[in-house]
Amino acid sequence: MLAFLRFNPRIWFLWGFLGCALLLSMGAYFQFVDGLEPCPLCISQRIAIFLTGICFLIAIIHNPGVKGIRVYSIAAAITALCGAAVSLRHVWLQHLPPDEVPECGPGLEYMLQNFPLSATIKLMLNGTGDCAEVNWSFLGFSMPAWTLLAFLMLATLSLLQIVNRQDKS
């Protein structure tokens, strides 16, 4: 049934890496060309995309056997699902009634300079009122919703590697 999906594992990992590179490039475009400043949850999602891409890149370079493919696939799926969880929280914040939206917090640069790293990470993952703003949408979905979809696709791509058994041992 999935015979049409069977490729060399490096090609799968390459597609995942290129997807992550494209997502990071789009984030940079929206930030530096369109002027949309990322909120703490956006930055957390970018970190998750970067880590997922690193998993894919290492798998491409290493060109592992069946056990290694399984390890890299699970690692990439875990990082993608962690990013999906952050995206889901972001989408949830955007759908809160205005009176329940958390207050806007300090900027990331201020937090890094004045708070311990653990407090900064906690604040980044909780989100702020900035995270509830919808500054961009396409086909009725906000950027975090599209990012959630991308994370789920990356996790699926990763996990499909496990059933993509080639003659590689």
Express each pLDDT in 39-54 by its tens digit.
888 888 999 999 999 9
Instruction: Quote the pTM value.
Output: 0.79
Residue 157 belongs to some domain of the structure? yes
Which residues, listed in sequence order, are joined to residue 137 by a DSSP beta bridge?
A: 142
CATH code (residue 103): 1.20.1550.10
DSSP 96: S
Residue 2 belongs to some domain of the structure? no
Q: Above 80 in pLDDT, residue 166?
A: no
Q: Above 70 in pLDDT, residue 26?
A: yes
- The pLDDT tens digits of the residues spanning 71-93 come to 999 999 999 999 999 899 888 88
Which tops the pLDDT comparison, 75 or 122? 75
Q: Which range has the worst mean pLDDT, 36-50, 84-98, 102-116, 138-152?
A: 102-116
Phi-psi region of 63 (alpha: psi -120 to 50; beta: other; left: phi over 0): left
Nearest in space to 16 (alpha carbons), one of 157, 144, 152: 157
Residue 134 belongs to some domain of the structure? yes
- The pLDDT tens digits of the residues spanning 2-19 come to 555 567 888 889 999 999
Domain span including residue 117:
7-163
Token reading at 111: 């937090």
Q: How many domains does the chain have?
A: 1
Distances (CA, A) of 144 to 14, 141, 160: 24, 8, 24
pLDDT at 168: 45
pLDDT at 36: 83
